[in-house]
Amino acid sequence: MASNTLLVELGVEELPPGAIESLANALRDGIANGLTEAEVPFETARAHASPRRLAVSIEALGDKQPDREIERRGPALAAAFKDGEPTKAAEGFARSCGVEVTDLIHLETDKGTWLGYRYQESGEATTALLPAILKRAVNALPVPKNMRWGASRLEFSRPVHWLVMLYGQDVVPAEVLGLQAGRTTRGHRFHAPQAIELAHADDYLEVLENAFVLADNDRRRERIREQVLAEAEVNDATAVIDDDLLDEVNGLVEWPVALTGSFDERFLEVPAECLISSMKANQKYFHLLDDEGQLKPAFITVSNIESREPQQVIEGNEKVIRPRLADAAFFYDTDRKQTLASRRDALDNVVFQKSLGTLGDKARRMETIGAFIAARIGGDVDHAKRAAQLAKCDLVTEMVLEFPELQGIMGTYYARQDGEPEEVAQALHEQYLPRFASDDVPTTQAGLALALADRLDTLTGIFGIGQRPTGTKDPFALRRAAIGVLNILIKGELDLDLRELLELAAAQHAELPKSDGLIDDVLDYMLDRFRAWTQDEGIAVEVYLAVRSRPVTRPLDFARRVRAVHAFSQREEAAALAAANKRVSNILAKQQHDGSTIVDASLLQAEAETTLSEALEQCHQAVRPLLDAARYSEALDVLARLRGPVDAFFDDVMVMAEDDAVRRNRLALLASLQALFLEVADIAQLQQ
C-alpha cells in the first residue's frame, strides 16, 4: 500500500488567541479519528496553528483502506437443501450474493452448520473518504462563539478565506464552509501577502517560514520565549514569563519579534502588581525585574512584524502604555483617599449570592467562623475578627474593579497604609491561598482562619441552597474550595474537626432550605476529594478506601492514616493480613456477630488461638499509646507482627466449632483482631 502526507489548512481571519490551540488540536483529532474509523493507516497526526490558520498534517497516510474479507451467513444447512436440492432460501441467499448456489460454502459454528459466502471487498481510496471526514471534523470543532460574514449563511469563529487539502502533490477535491479545496495558501499579512502555491504537502512548514509565518505552534512559542529572555539579558534584567501570557502572545503573532520599551520611573510609586496587571491584561507585555527582584521601568513587547524601523514600534508601544499606567496610578491614588474600614457599609450593597445575602452578610459570617478557628489554633482572635471585617472591602475599590485579579493583594496594601496590624494586612491576601492544589497555604494564623472561614461559608451556603456541583458544572468552584480547605488543614498541620467547623459555618446562615442532612452531605463531598489527593501523592486508591471507610473527620488525621497505610501496604506482611482481615469481615458478617471483643481465656482450646489471643493483648498494649499520639505508621509496624499468629490460627483452628460458647469466643477473638486494625483503617480494603 502506497502512502503520502496529507495536509489540510483552513485559512481564517485572526482567531481569538485563547481558542487557537484547542481548535487546531480538535481539528487534528477529528481527522485522525475519522481515518482510524475508516481503517486507513497512518503514522502521526500533527496540528499546526497561527492566528490566521488551522492546519493538520498526517504523515505516512495510506492511499486506500485495506482490502477486507467479508463473510455473509445464510440459512442453516438443514433449511438450505431438501433431498439434495437447494431450497428457495438457498437460492435467494445466492442471488443476494450475486453468485450460484454452488459457489457458497459451509460455515461451522457452535450452533450448527450454515450456508455462507466469503469474498474480498476492495478498500476505498483515501481521497474519496477525506471530504466527508474533513466536513465532520470541521462541524465538530469546539468553536467558542460563531459569527456570520457578508451575505453568507455560513457560521464559524471568524470569516474563512481559503482551504488547502493536499495528498502528497495532489489536490483532494472537497468543499467545507463554502470553500473549494486547492493548493493556495497565504503567508504573513504584511511581509508576504501574495498567494503561495504549495507543490507538495511536505513543503508546508518550510514554505510558510519563508513567507514569515511560523505555523508550528510549539516552535513559535519557544521562539518567543527565547527572544524575550535574550532581550532581558541585553537589558541586565530578568524577564518574568507567565505561561498563560506566553500562550496568549503566541496566539497573536505569526512572526514574533521581541522589543524592549520603557516607562516613566514615577509609575514605580504604584504597587508593582498594579503595573504588572495593567501591562499583562491590556498590552500583553512581559515585565522585567532587576537583580533585587524589583520591577524595572521597562517591558518587552512581541511584535508581529519585523520592522525596518523597530524604534518606531517601541515608541508606539510606550505611547500606548503610558495612559494605561496613568490610569493605574489614578485608581491607586483615589483608593487611598478612603480607608478600607470605611468601605464596609458598601459591602451591604453588593450581592454575594441572591439566596445567601450580600458581601456584608458573608463578611459577618466569616468573622464568627474565623474567630472560632483562631481560638482553636492559638491565634489572635481580635486579629482574625478584624481581618474578616476587612476581607472583602477591596472588592469595591477602583483598582480591583478594574483588575479583579488584584483582590486581596490591594487589600493588603491599603490595610498597611491604614495602619492595620501586619498580620491583619497579610491575612487579606492569604484568604485566597491556596489558589490551586500545589500553591502555598497561609503563613499567618489570621490568614489560616480567614481562608478556612471564607471557604467553609461558601461550601455550606451553596450546598444549603441546593446548588452542589453536578458532573462538570461547578459554577461556584466548590471543588477548589473543598480541596483548599483540605490543603490548609494538612499543610498547615491544623488538627481541626471538619464536622465541627461545618456545623458552625452552617449555623451562621439565617436560612438554608436544604438544611436536612447538610453537614453529612458537605462532609462526604469534602472527604471524597481525598481520592484525587491520594492519587496526586502516588498512593493507590485502595489505601484511600481503607481510611475512607472509617469515621475520620479530621483531615490532618486522615492524611496521616493514608500515609501510614500506604507505607504498610508496601510491607511483605500486608497482603496476608489484608486477606485475613477480609476473611474475618466476611465471617463476622455472615454469622451476624454481636460485635463483642471480650475473649474468655478459659474457652481457648487450641494452641494457635491461645497464641493469637496473647499476641493481640501484647499488640493492644503496645499500640495504644501510639494511636493516642497519631503515630499510625509505628502502630501498623507493631500490628504487622500478627501475621504469623493469624496465619496459624486460620490453618489450625475451626472457627465454627460445634460448642456454641467456644464458637462465640472465637468470633470475639476475630472481632478483637479486626477492631485493632480498624483503629487505623480497614485494611481489608487493600484486597481490592
- Max Cα distance, the chain (Å): 109
- Determine the number of helices (DSSP H) and then strands (DSSP E) in the chain: 26, 20
Is residue 268 located within the same domain as residue 321? yes
Q: Are residues 434 and 520 part of one domain?
A: yes
Domain boundary among 288, 304, 335: 335
Model confidence, pTM? 0.80
| Cα 419 to Cα 424: distance, rounded to the nearest angstrom | 10
Q: What is the 3-state secondary structure (H, E, C) of 135-177?
A: HHHHHCCCCCCCECCCCCCCCECCCEEEEEEEECCEECCCEEC
Whether residues 49 and 12 share a domain: the answer is yes
Residues 77, 94 within the same domain: yes
Residue 146 lies in a domain: yes
Distance between CA atoms of residues 563 and 551, nearest Å: 17
DSSP string for 67-130: PEEEEEEEEEHHHHEETTEE-HHHHHHHHHHTS-GGG-EEEEETTEEEEEEEEEEPPPBHHHHH
pLDDT > 90? residue 144:
no
Q: Taking residues 662-680, what's their average pLDDT?
A: 85
Q: Which domain holds residue 40?
A: 3-65+125-210
Say if 456 falls within a structural domain.
Answer: yes
| Mean pLDDT of the region 504-530 | 94
Instruction: Give the pLDDT band (50/70/90) at residue 580.
Output: confident
Domain identity same for 11 and 147: yes
27 and 140 co-located in one domain = yes
Whether 521 is in a domain gets the answer: yes
425 with 371, same domain: the answer is yes
CATH code for the domain of 438? 1.10.3210
CA distance 351 to 627: 47
Q: Are residues 298 and 440 in the same domain?
A: no
Q: Which of 528, 557, 585 is the last residue of a domain?
A: 528
| Domain stop point among 308, 335, 362 | 335
Is residue 186 in some structural domain? yes
Provide the domain count of the chain. 5
Mark whether 320 and 359 lie in a shared domain.
no
What's the rounded Cα separation, in Å, for the pair 453 and 17? 37
Pairing of strands 195-197, 238-239: unpaired
pLDDT tens digits for range 421-452: 999 999 999 999 999 888 899 999 999 999 99
- pLDDT tens by residue, 564-575: 999 989 988 888
The answer for 630, left when phi > 0, alpha when psi is -120 to 50, beta otherwise, is: left
Q: Is residue 498 part of a domain?
A: yes
Burial (CB count within 10 angstroms: exposed 0-12, middle 13-18, buried 19+), residue 197:
exposed
Residues 462-482, mean pLDDT to the nearest whole number: 91
Task: Please indicate, yes or no, whether residues 258 and 392 belong to a single structural domain of this protein.
Answer: no
Q: What is the pLDDT of residue 688?
A: 63
Residues 642 and 660 in one domain: yes
Q: Quote the mean pLDDT of the chain.
A: 92
* Grid cell locating 284: 500583553
Pair 351, 315 in one domain: no
